[in-house]
Amino acid sequence: MSKFLLVVFAVFFILTLAGCAVTSTKENPDICQQSADSIHRKFNRTTSIEKETINVETSDTTTFYDQTPVKVFSGIESTYLNDSYLTVNIIDTGLFEQYSAPIIKPTIKTQYEAHPFTGTFTPIGIFVWLFNPTAMNAFTFGCTEITYLTPEPDKTRKAKTGKSEWKTIPKGHRILVSGFDREYEFDFDASTSPKAIDLSSAISNTELTRNSTFKVTCLDCDLLGAEVHNLYKDSKTNIVLTHDFRPIKESMAESLKVRHAAEEGKKIKQVKRDKEEPKTRAAHLSKQPTVSKQEIESAKEMCTNLGFKSNTEKFYNCFKRLTE
């Protein structure tokens, strides 16, 4: 009997040592299995987690252009006049420098702490290993899950390559038009291209000659000097134009007269309707051969009691419904 107890005790001791694992957050070489089953994932959620993002060095390098230009060239490229609308085409280009940098692999390390039930002095660990040895080994001793993100250049160590490139960029502008009764300034945001200017007010308010000269100036354009300007020789910060605006002004005045006449016609018709409406109502009230005088007076009284004032549209509609 004593030998049997000794054997049982020895087996229990061995199982205890086999299942023994001290709870620890130290990194373990065993990597967590990505293809874990539902029990595996559930077990993960019950353990402590520590996350750390590190950049893994590689032997590769890459080149890229900086996102901010070192210079910006802007100038008026062309203009186009259509009736009272002036379209101004402005070229905007930025000089972007090229850099080289080593490629790094951003990596997220997720550390799972040993589970308290399998990471204690109990034989539980050895028993559960029999059913899922890979998963339980990781959970007993803890494991590290590594996730690699998309490789990217390490811009903290970028270096110029000596190359650069001109690229078109969006840019807002302030444009001044002078030569009319006064100066007119227009603001355009970066999304507006080309810039369309409505000169209707300037044309209407100016005493025009046969050939009117006016000037279009880009207040915030920059040609950057002769060396860069040679790349875009036709660009200017201002341009002088001559045009006969008199036919446009006459057409605008004629259109304005037509609009005024149409509005006056509407007003006259409305006044006429307002005058005829009481007569129409009275005629309708008088043409009630099937309605007795008593019924008419009763209907009027009822509409008045309902709060409708006589000689109003609501009173008329009320009376009409009661006497139909």
Please state whether beta strands 195-198 and 212-218 pair in parallel, antiparallel, or not at all (unpaired).
unpaired
Give the model's confidence band at 2: pLDDT under 50 very low, under 70 low, under 90 confident, else very high: low
Whole-number pLDDT of residue 22: 39
How many other C-beta atoms lie within 10 A of the C-beta of residue 20? 16
Instruction: Look at residue 191 and tell me whether its pLDDT is greater than 90.
Output: no
Asked if residues 278 and 293 have their Cβ atoms less than 8 Å apart, the reply is no
Mean pLDDT value of segment 93-108: 93
Whole-number pLDDT of residue 316: 81
Instruction: Look at residue 58 and tell me whether its pLDDT is greater than 90.
Output: no
Give the model's confidence band at 119: pLDDT under 50 very low, under 70 low, under 90 confident, else very high: very low
Whole-number pLDDT of residue 64: 93
| DSSP H helix total and E strand total for the chain | 9, 11
Least-confidence region, from 54-58, 87-91, 278-282, 316-320 = 278-282
Least-confidence region, from 131-135, 179-183, 214-218 = 131-135
pLDDT averaged over the chain? 77
Q: Tell me which of 200 and 40 has the higher pLDDT.
A: 200
Q: Tell me which of 21 and 63 has the higher pLDDT.
A: 63
List of residues 6+ apart from 90 with CB closer than 8 A: 74, 75, 76, 77, 171, 173, 193, 194, 195, 218, 221
Mean pLDDT value of segment 268-297: 69
Residues 304, 285: Cα–Cα separation, whole Å: 16
Whole-number pLDDT of residue 224: 86
Query: At what angle are helices 133-141 and 38-45 packed, to 10 degrees?
Result: 10
Whole-number pLDDT of residue 99: 96
Give the model's confidence band at 90: pLDDT under 50 very low, under 70 low, under 90 confident, else very high: very high
Instruction: Look at residue 162 and tell me whether its pLDDT is greater than 90.
Output: yes
Give the model's confidence band at 272: pLDDT under 50 very low, under 70 low, under 90 confident, else very high: confident
Beta bridge partners of 86: 81, 197
Mean pLDDT value of segment 121-125: 47
